[in-house]
Protein backbone atom coordinates (compact mmCIF):
# COMPACT_ATOMS: atom_id res chain seq x y z
CA UNK A 1 0.00 0.00 0.00
CA UNK A 2 1.38 3.39 -0.93
CA UNK A 3 1.42 5.94 1.90
CA UNK A 4 -0.58 9.14 1.58
CA UNK A 5 1.37 12.35 1.69
CA UNK A 6 -0.63 13.74 4.62
CA UNK A 7 -3.03 12.38 7.26
CA UNK A 8 -5.81 14.65 5.93
CA UNK A 9 -5.50 13.43 2.33
CA UNK A 10 -8.22 11.28 0.82
CA UNK A 11 -7.99 7.59 1.67
CA UNK A 12 -10.09 4.48 1.06
CA UNK A 13 -12.28 3.36 4.00
CA UNK A 14 -14.26 0.13 4.28
CA UNK A 15 -17.57 0.23 6.21
CA UNK A 16 -18.91 -3.18 7.25
CA UNK A 17 -22.39 -2.97 8.80
CA UNK A 18 -25.55 -5.02 8.27
CA UNK A 19 -27.78 -1.97 8.88
CA UNK A 20 -28.63 -0.08 5.69
CA UNK A 21 -29.38 3.04 7.73
CA UNK A 22 -26.08 2.95 9.64
CA UNK A 23 -24.11 2.34 6.45
CA UNK A 24 -25.80 5.31 4.80
CA UNK A 25 -25.12 7.59 7.79
CA UNK A 26 -21.45 6.62 7.98
CA UNK A 27 -21.04 6.82 4.21
CA UNK A 28 -22.47 10.34 4.18
CA UNK A 29 -20.22 11.49 7.04
CA UNK A 30 -17.03 9.97 5.61
CA UNK A 31 -17.63 11.10 2.04
CA UNK A 32 -18.26 14.57 3.44
CA UNK A 33 -14.72 14.41 4.87
CA UNK A 34 -13.37 13.75 1.36
CA UNK A 35 -12.64 10.02 1.65
CA UNK A 36 -13.56 7.16 -0.70
CA UNK A 37 -16.00 4.62 0.77
CA UNK A 38 -16.47 0.90 0.21
CA UNK A 39 -19.34 -0.92 1.92
CA UNK A 40 -19.96 -4.49 3.08
CA UNK A 41 -23.04 -6.06 4.69
CA UNK A 42 -21.35 -8.72 6.87
CA UNK A 43 -18.00 -10.21 7.85
CA UNK A 44 -17.64 -12.45 4.81
CA UNK A 45 -18.46 -9.59 2.47
CA UNK A 46 -15.97 -7.38 4.38
CA UNK A 47 -13.13 -9.89 3.91
CA UNK A 48 -13.85 -10.15 0.17
CA UNK A 49 -14.02 -6.36 -0.25
CA UNK A 50 -10.85 -5.84 1.79
CA UNK A 51 -8.94 -8.40 -0.28
CA UNK A 52 -10.03 -6.79 -3.54
CA UNK A 53 -10.00 -3.06 -2.68
CA UNK A 54 -7.16 -2.83 -0.09
CA UNK A 55 -8.65 0.01 2.01
CA UNK A 56 -6.46 1.95 4.45
CA UNK A 57 -8.95 1.95 7.40
CA UNK A 58 -11.84 -0.39 8.31
CA UNK A 59 -14.98 0.47 10.28
CA UNK A 60 -16.40 -2.87 11.47
CA UNK A 61 -19.78 -3.54 13.07
CA UNK A 62 -19.39 -6.00 15.93
CA UNK A 63 -22.65 -7.93 15.47
CA UNK A 64 -23.59 -9.04 11.93
CA UNK A 65 -25.17 -12.13 10.33
CA UNK A 66 -23.18 -14.94 8.62
CA UNK A 67 -19.90 -13.71 10.15
CA UNK A 68 -19.65 -11.10 12.88
CA UNK A 69 -16.93 -8.50 13.30
CA UNK A 70 -15.09 -10.45 16.00
CA UNK A 71 -14.57 -13.29 13.50
CA UNK A 72 -13.83 -11.12 10.47
CA UNK A 73 -11.19 -8.85 12.02
CA UNK A 74 -8.50 -11.54 12.63
CA UNK A 75 -8.88 -12.67 9.00
CA UNK A 76 -8.46 -9.12 7.73
CA UNK A 77 -5.40 -8.58 9.92
CA UNK A 78 -3.92 -11.79 8.54
CA UNK A 79 -4.50 -10.60 4.95
CA UNK A 80 -2.97 -7.19 5.76
CA UNK A 81 0.24 -8.87 6.92
CA UNK A 82 2.90 -6.30 7.81
CA UNK A 83 0.78 -3.39 6.58
CA UNK A 84 -0.88 -1.44 9.37
CA UNK A 85 -4.63 -1.31 8.73
CA UNK A 86 -6.45 0.32 11.66
CA UNK A 87 -9.82 -1.29 12.46
CA UNK A 88 -12.42 0.66 14.45
CA UNK A 89 -15.31 -1.38 15.84
CA UNK A 90 -18.81 0.07 15.52
CA UNK A 91 -20.94 -1.12 18.41
CA UNK A 92 -24.00 -0.41 20.49
CA UNK A 93 -22.53 -2.70 23.17
CA UNK A 94 -21.41 -0.84 26.26
CA UNK A 95 -20.44 -3.59 28.72
CA UNK A 96 -16.76 -3.94 29.51
CA UNK A 97 -16.49 -7.56 28.34
CA UNK A 98 -17.78 -6.71 24.86
CA UNK A 99 -15.45 -3.74 24.50
CA UNK A 100 -12.48 -5.85 25.63
CA UNK A 101 -13.53 -8.49 23.09
CA UNK A 102 -13.36 -5.82 20.36
CA UNK A 103 -9.74 -5.09 21.21
CA UNK A 104 -8.71 -8.71 21.83
CA UNK A 105 -10.01 -9.80 18.42
CA UNK A 106 -7.63 -7.36 16.71
CA UNK A 107 -9.55 -4.11 16.75
CA UNK A 108 -7.59 -0.94 17.39
CA UNK A 109 -10.45 1.17 18.83
CA UNK A 110 -14.24 1.29 19.04
CA UNK A 111 -16.93 3.87 18.30
CA UNK A 112 -20.23 3.75 20.13
CA UNK A 113 -23.58 4.32 18.45
CA UNK A 114 -25.07 6.85 17.74
CA UNK A 115 -22.09 8.20 15.81
CA UNK A 116 -20.62 11.61 16.56
CA UNK A 117 -19.20 13.03 13.27
CA UNK A 118 -16.55 15.10 15.09
CA UNK A 119 -15.24 12.11 17.07
CA UNK A 120 -15.38 9.89 13.97
CA UNK A 121 -13.32 12.39 11.96
CA UNK A 122 -10.78 12.77 14.78
CA UNK A 123 -10.36 8.98 15.06
CA UNK A 124 -9.92 8.56 11.30
CA UNK A 125 -7.31 11.34 11.16
CA UNK A 126 -5.46 10.00 14.23
CA UNK A 127 -5.31 6.44 12.91
CA UNK A 128 -4.29 7.63 9.47
CA UNK A 129 -1.35 9.50 11.06
CA UNK A 130 -0.39 6.32 12.90
CA UNK A 131 -0.66 4.34 9.66
CA UNK A 132 1.55 6.78 7.78
CA UNK A 133 4.13 6.88 10.57
CA UNK A 134 4.17 3.08 10.61
CA UNK A 135 4.80 2.99 6.87
CA UNK A 136 7.61 5.54 7.12
CA UNK A 137 9.25 3.60 9.96
CA UNK A 138 8.84 0.32 8.09
CA UNK A 139 10.44 1.83 4.99
CA UNK A 140 13.31 3.22 7.08
CA UNK A 141 13.81 -0.21 8.69
CA UNK A 142 13.85 -1.92 5.28
CA UNK A 143 16.41 0.61 4.00
CA UNK A 144 18.55 0.08 7.09
CA UNK A 145 18.40 -3.73 6.71
CA UNK A 146 19.37 -3.45 3.03
CA UNK A 147 22.27 -1.13 3.85
CA UNK A 148 23.40 -3.43 6.64
CA UNK A 149 23.18 -6.46 4.34
CA UNK A 150 25.31 -4.67 1.74
CA UNK A 151 27.90 -3.73 4.36
CA UNK A 152 28.04 -7.29 5.66
CA UNK A 153 28.49 -8.58 2.10
CA UNK A 154 31.21 -5.99 1.52
CA UNK A 155 32.96 -7.18 4.68
CA UNK A 156 32.81 -10.77 3.45
CA UNK A 157 34.22 -9.74 0.08
CA UNK A 158 37.00 -7.85 1.87
CA UNK A 159 37.86 -11.09 3.67
CA UNK A 160 38.04 -12.86 0.33
CA UNK A 161 40.31 -10.07 -0.95
CA UNK A 162 42.66 -10.62 1.98
CA UNK A 163 42.54 -14.34 1.26
CA UNK A 164 43.61 -13.79 -2.35
CA UNK A 165 46.49 -11.62 -1.13
CA UNK A 166 47.45 -14.40 1.27
CA UNK A 167 47.42 -16.93 -1.57
CA UNK A 168 49.72 -14.76 -3.68
CA UNK A 169 52.16 -14.27 -0.80
CA UNK A 170 52.25 -17.85 0.47
CA UNK A 171 52.37 -19.59 -2.91
CA UNK A 172 55.01 -17.19 -4.22
CA UNK A 173 57.77 -18.62 -1.96
CA UNK A 174 57.57 -22.34 -2.84
CA UNK A 175 56.98 -21.60 -6.52
CA UNK A 176 60.00 -19.24 -6.49
CA UNK A 177 62.17 -21.95 -4.93
CA UNK A 178 60.90 -24.46 -7.48
CA UNK A 179 61.70 -22.11 -10.37
CA UNK A 180 65.21 -21.57 -8.97
CA UNK A 181 65.76 -25.33 -8.65
CA UNK A 182 64.57 -25.93 -12.21
CA UNK A 183 66.83 -23.13 -13.48
CA UNK A 184 69.77 -24.71 -11.67
CA UNK A 185 68.90 -28.07 -13.22
CA UNK A 186 68.81 -26.49 -16.66
CA UNK A 187 72.31 -25.09 -16.01
CA UNK A 188 73.56 -28.54 -15.00
CA UNK A 189 72.05 -30.05 -18.15
CA UNK A 190 73.74 -27.37 -20.28
CA UNK A 191 77.15 -28.10 -18.68
CA UNK A 192 76.61 -31.85 -19.14
CA UNK A 193 75.71 -31.37 -22.80
CA UNK A 194 78.81 -29.20 -23.44
CA UNK A 195 81.07 -31.82 -21.83
CA UNK A 196 79.45 -34.53 -23.91
CA UNK A 197 79.68 -32.52 -27.17
CA UNK A 198 83.39 -31.82 -26.54
CA UNK A 199 84.11 -35.44 -25.66
CA UNK A 200 85.17 -34.48 -22.16
CA UNK A 201 82.37 -36.23 -20.25
CA UNK A 202 83.73 -38.53 -17.56
CA UNK A 203 82.04 -40.94 -15.18
CA UNK A 204 82.72 -38.62 -12.22
CA UNK A 205 80.99 -35.73 -14.04
CA UNK A 206 77.94 -37.92 -14.72
CA UNK A 207 77.76 -39.04 -11.10
CA UNK A 208 77.88 -35.41 -9.89
CA UNK A 209 75.19 -34.46 -12.39
CA UNK A 210 72.89 -37.28 -11.25
CA UNK A 211 73.37 -36.28 -7.61
CA UNK A 212 72.73 -32.57 -8.22
CA UNK A 213 69.86 -33.24 -10.62
CA UNK A 214 68.25 -35.49 -8.00
CA UNK A 215 68.62 -32.73 -5.39
CA UNK A 216 67.08 -30.14 -7.73
CA UNK A 217 64.22 -32.48 -8.65
CA UNK A 218 63.54 -33.22 -4.96
CA UNK A 219 63.55 -29.50 -4.08
CA UNK A 220 61.17 -28.81 -6.98
CA UNK A 221 58.86 -31.69 -5.99
CA UNK A 222 58.72 -30.66 -2.32
CA UNK A 223 57.88 -27.07 -3.14
CA UNK A 224 55.34 -27.95 -5.82
CA UNK A 225 53.66 -30.29 -3.33
CA UNK A 226 53.65 -27.48 -0.79
CA UNK A 227 52.13 -25.12 -3.35
CA UNK A 228 49.47 -27.70 -4.22
CA UNK A 229 48.52 -28.12 -0.55
CA UNK A 230 48.37 -24.36 -0.05
CA UNK A 231 46.20 -23.85 -3.13
CA UNK A 232 43.90 -26.71 -2.11
CA UNK A 233 43.42 -25.20 1.35
CA UNK A 234 42.94 -21.68 0.00
CA UNK A 235 40.53 -22.92 -2.66
CA UNK A 236 38.32 -24.72 -0.16
CA UNK A 237 38.29 -21.76 2.21
CA UNK A 238 37.47 -19.38 -0.67
CA UNK A 239 34.66 -21.63 -1.93
CA UNK A 240 33.25 -21.92 1.59
CA UNK A 241 33.31 -18.16 2.17
CA UNK A 242 31.46 -17.43 -1.08
CA UNK A 243 28.89 -20.20 -0.65
CA UNK A 244 26.18 -21.04 1.89
CA UNK A 245 25.86 -24.73 1.03
CA UNK A 246 25.90 -27.46 3.65
CA UNK A 247 28.66 -30.05 3.56
CA UNK A 248 30.26 -32.67 5.77
CA UNK A 249 33.52 -31.36 7.20
CA UNK A 250 36.25 -32.84 9.38
CA UNK A 251 36.61 -30.05 11.90
CA UNK A 252 40.30 -30.55 12.64
CA UNK A 253 41.22 -30.42 8.94
CA UNK A 254 38.86 -27.49 8.38
CA UNK A 255 40.46 -25.49 11.18
CA UNK A 256 43.94 -26.15 9.79
CA UNK A 257 42.76 -24.98 6.35
CA UNK A 258 41.51 -21.76 7.92
CA UNK A 259 44.84 -21.26 9.71
CA UNK A 260 46.69 -21.89 6.46
CA UNK A 261 44.65 -19.14 4.78
CA UNK A 262 45.55 -16.74 7.62
CA UNK A 263 49.22 -17.74 7.81
CA UNK A 264 50.41 -14.45 6.32
CA UNK A 265 48.64 -12.39 8.99
CA UNK A 266 49.63 -14.70 11.86
CA UNK A 267 53.33 -15.01 11.00
CA UNK A 268 53.82 -11.22 10.86
CA UNK A 269 54.09 -11.54 14.63
CA UNK A 270 54.96 -14.39 16.96
CA UNK A 271 51.38 -15.34 17.73
CA UNK A 272 50.53 -18.98 18.29
CA UNK A 273 47.25 -20.77 17.56
CA UNK A 274 46.57 -24.09 19.29
CA UNK A 275 43.72 -26.29 18.01
CA UNK A 276 42.46 -29.07 20.28
CA UNK A 277 40.10 -31.25 18.27
CA UNK A 278 39.83 -34.99 17.71
CA UNK A 279 40.39 -36.08 14.12
CA UNK A 280 37.12 -38.06 14.20
CA UNK A 281 34.85 -35.06 14.88
CA UNK A 282 32.75 -34.26 11.82
CA UNK A 283 29.73 -32.06 11.30
CA UNK A 284 27.29 -31.19 8.52
CA UNK A 285 26.91 -27.42 8.46
CA UNK A 286 27.34 -24.24 6.45
CA UNK A 287 31.12 -24.49 6.11
CA UNK A 288 31.37 -20.93 4.79
CA UNK A 289 29.64 -19.55 7.87
CA UNK A 290 31.97 -21.47 10.16
CA UNK A 291 34.96 -20.25 8.16
CA UNK A 292 33.75 -16.65 8.45
CA UNK A 293 33.21 -17.01 12.20
CA UNK A 294 36.65 -18.45 12.92
CA UNK A 295 38.41 -16.06 10.53
CA UNK A 296 36.78 -13.03 12.15
CA UNK A 297 37.56 -14.30 15.67
CA UNK A 298 41.24 -14.84 14.84
CA UNK A 299 41.58 -11.50 13.03
CA UNK A 300 39.85 -9.70 15.92
CA UNK A 301 42.39 -11.20 18.31
CA UNK A 302 45.30 -10.14 16.08
CA UNK A 303 44.00 -6.62 15.39
CA UNK A 304 42.41 -5.77 18.75
CA UNK A 305 43.46 -8.24 21.43
CA UNK A 306 47.12 -8.42 20.40
CA UNK A 307 47.51 -4.80 19.32
CA UNK A 308 50.27 -4.33 21.90
CA UNK A 309 51.36 -7.97 22.19
CA UNK A 310 53.91 -9.69 19.95
CA UNK A 311 53.48 -13.23 21.23
CA UNK A 312 49.75 -13.76 21.75
CA UNK A 313 48.21 -17.19 22.20
CA UNK A 314 44.89 -18.38 20.80
CA UNK A 315 43.41 -21.68 21.97
CA UNK A 316 40.51 -23.31 20.12
CA UNK A 317 38.90 -26.28 21.88
CA UNK A 318 36.35 -28.29 19.88
CA UNK A 319 34.25 -31.14 21.21
CA UNK A 320 31.16 -33.14 20.29
CA UNK A 321 28.48 -34.00 22.84
CA UNK A 322 24.83 -35.02 22.43
CA UNK A 323 24.87 -34.26 18.69
CA UNK A 324 26.08 -30.72 19.39
CA UNK A 325 29.42 -29.13 18.44
CA UNK A 326 30.99 -27.03 21.19
CA UNK A 327 33.75 -24.53 20.35
CA UNK A 328 35.57 -22.55 23.02
CA UNK A 329 37.76 -19.80 21.57
CA UNK A 330 40.16 -18.12 23.98
CA UNK A 331 42.92 -15.55 23.56
CA UNK A 332 45.26 -13.98 26.12
CA UNK A 333 44.90 -10.49 24.67
CA UNK A 334 43.89 -7.15 26.11
CA UNK A 335 40.34 -8.19 27.01
CA UNK A 336 37.42 -5.81 27.29
CA UNK A 337 35.58 -3.86 29.98
CA UNK A 338 32.09 -4.98 31.00
CA UNK A 339 30.33 -1.86 29.64
CA UNK A 340 31.87 -2.44 26.19
CA UNK A 341 31.32 -6.20 26.28
CA UNK A 342 27.53 -5.74 26.32
CA UNK A 343 27.77 -3.99 22.94
CA UNK A 344 30.21 -6.34 21.25
CA UNK A 345 27.68 -7.99 18.91
CA UNK A 346 25.94 -4.75 17.96
CA UNK A 347 26.38 -3.62 14.33
CA UNK A 348 29.01 -0.91 13.80
CA UNK A 349 30.45 -1.26 17.30
CA UNK A 350 34.24 -0.98 17.23
CA UNK A 351 36.98 0.15 19.59
CA UNK A 352 39.14 1.24 16.62
CA UNK A 353 36.88 3.51 14.60
CA UNK A 354 39.70 5.89 13.76
CA UNK A 355 41.87 3.04 12.49
CA UNK A 356 39.43 1.94 9.81
CA UNK A 357 37.45 -0.61 11.83
CA UNK A 358 34.00 -1.21 10.31
CA UNK A 359 32.41 -2.52 13.51
CA UNK A 360 30.84 -5.43 11.64
CA UNK A 361 33.28 -8.23 12.50
CA UNK A 362 31.60 -9.52 15.67
CA UNK A 363 28.14 -8.65 14.33
CA UNK A 364 28.81 -10.97 11.38
CA UNK A 365 30.04 -13.62 13.82
CA UNK A 366 26.80 -13.40 15.82
CA UNK A 367 24.59 -13.54 12.71
CA UNK A 368 26.51 -16.44 11.18
CA UNK A 369 26.35 -18.48 14.39
CA UNK A 370 22.68 -17.80 15.12
CA UNK A 371 21.30 -17.81 11.56
CA UNK A 372 23.60 -19.88 9.33
CA UNK A 373 24.83 -22.39 11.93
CA UNK A 374 21.57 -22.29 13.96
CA UNK A 375 23.54 -22.08 17.17
CA UNK A 376 24.38 -19.83 20.08
CA UNK A 377 27.34 -17.67 21.03
CA UNK A 378 28.33 -15.95 24.28
CA UNK A 379 31.40 -14.03 25.39
CA UNK A 380 33.29 -13.44 28.63
CA UNK A 381 36.11 -11.01 29.26
CA UNK A 382 37.66 -8.48 31.56
CA UNK A 383 40.49 -5.99 31.03
CA UNK A 384 43.83 -7.75 30.69
CA UNK A 385 42.26 -11.23 30.84
CA UNK A 386 41.71 -11.91 27.16
CA UNK A 387 38.49 -12.94 25.41
CA UNK A 388 36.56 -16.21 25.64
CA UNK A 389 33.84 -17.00 23.10
CA UNK A 390 31.63 -20.05 23.65
CA UNK A 391 29.84 -21.38 20.56
CA UNK A 392 27.52 -24.34 20.10
CA UNK A 393 25.56 -25.54 17.07
CA UNK A 394 23.96 -28.78 15.79
CA UNK A 395 26.45 -31.34 14.53
CA UNK A 396 24.10 -32.19 11.70
CA UNK A 397 21.71 -29.60 10.34
CA UNK A 398 19.33 -30.11 7.45
CA UNK A 399 17.54 -27.32 5.60
CA UNK A 400 14.59 -29.61 4.86
Lowest-confidence pick of 138-147, 168-177, 259-268: 168-177
Q: At 395, give phi and psi (nearest 5°).
A: -70, -25
What is the mean predicted confidence (pLDDT) over 122-151? 82
At the topology level, CATH places domain 243-394 in Heat Shock Protein 90 (3.30.565)
CATH assignment of 12-115, among 3.40.50.1370, 2.60.260.20, 3.30.9.30, 3.40.50.2300: 3.40.50.2300
Q: At 325, give phi and psi (nearest 5°).
A: -90, 130
Whether the domain at 12-115 and the domain at 243-394 fall into the same CATH topology: no
- Is this prediction's pTM over 0.75? no
Lowest-confidence pick of 69-78, 117-126, 212-221, 242-251: 242-251
Distance of CA 242 to the CA centre of its chain: 13
pLDDT tens for residues 74-103? 999 999 988 889 999 988 877 788 778 888
Task: Sheet containing 313-321: give its strands across.
Answer: 272-276, 313-321, 324-331, 387-394, 376-381
pLDDT of residue 43: 93
Q: What is the dihedral of CA 290, 293, 294, 300, to 10 degrees?
A: 170
pLDDT of residue 164: 62
Per-domain boundaries in the chain: 12-115, 168-227, 243-394
Residue 360 has pLDDT above 80, yes or no: no
Residue 182 or residue 277, greater confidence: 277
Amino acid sequence: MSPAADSNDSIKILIADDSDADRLILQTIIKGQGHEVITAVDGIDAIEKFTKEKPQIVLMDALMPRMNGFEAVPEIKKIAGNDMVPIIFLTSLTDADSLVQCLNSGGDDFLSKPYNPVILKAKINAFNRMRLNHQHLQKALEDLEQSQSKLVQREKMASLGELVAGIAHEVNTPIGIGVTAISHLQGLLKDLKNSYDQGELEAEDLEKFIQRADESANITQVNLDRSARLIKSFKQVAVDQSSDSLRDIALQDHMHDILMSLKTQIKKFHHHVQINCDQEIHCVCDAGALTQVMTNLIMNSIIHGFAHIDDGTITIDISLKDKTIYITYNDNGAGMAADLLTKIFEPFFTTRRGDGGSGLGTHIIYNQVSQALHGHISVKSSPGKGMTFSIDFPAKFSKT
